[in-house]
Structure 1
């Protein structure tokens, strides 16, 4: 009797555990770790994407060598640059799959999002990190290769094109426009 109860409890535990093992994670397992102190950088383009008062504004962050950050907005055609601090030059930041992430507050859910700049479907099918996204003023991002469009305002959902996955997402926090941005997985 006791043995049967133990077996039943173990079977229930394994069944519940298997439900969680098969679930897709909301966030990616790809390497991504970046901390930016915008109080020191004072980059307006990044700051506009880090404020809740301007939902739908997104900023692509990349690093040029080890000496400067490059910031691009979906609201502006000209990039902005900020010199990397000595701590940034020494850090081994992993900025997404291929040196670029996109951050900003969604205008539908009000959440702060961080996405990889790679098209998840093209990257998954080829394994090559050469499918960067084009940001649009309406808060979508489009792949030039497969022509899929993703809604950055709504969790990176695939909204146009062939069936596939939504954008690759990372955990992100901000303390405000001239505060600290933290992105990781």
Structure 2
């Protein structure tokens, strides 16, 4: 009987040690997988979520996360009022659920330039804000590889030569957000 108890105790200790090793391995793999996540994949998993807040320098935009590209997020701050936010301008994000989602090959290629070209094609009147939150209004005339050119005019006027107050070249790295007016 004493031998039986001794062997049972040894078996229990081995089983406990195996369980500890498995827990440690799972925790290590979880840490490694989390280390591979980036902001883009976290945001992508939360498309459609309401109550997301994107912190930009000097301001916070809140609303429903509509779409996410490799270097931009589209946030609906009010019904039919989306704001395109450059991911490099983010300072913090709140309101996200857990999880991450890998983007499709096509989604990986639809960068900030492509989103801005869509606004330019529509000849939409926009308000752009730089990283310091300074606004400028007008129509995007040109979208280059790393910049946009804004024909500045009042938000309630059409883009006409007589309405232009200036031309503004904005490098993508200094762009914070773009809102269609």
User: Do the structures match in fold with TM over 0.5?
Assistant: no
| TM-score, structure 1 as length reference | 0.27
Rg comparison, structure with higher value: 2
* Larger helix fraction of residues: 2
| TM-score, structure 2 as length reference | 0.28
Which structure exhibits the higher relative contact order, with contacts defined as CA atoms closer than 8 Å and separated by 6 or more residues?
Answer: 1
* Larger strand fraction of residues: 2
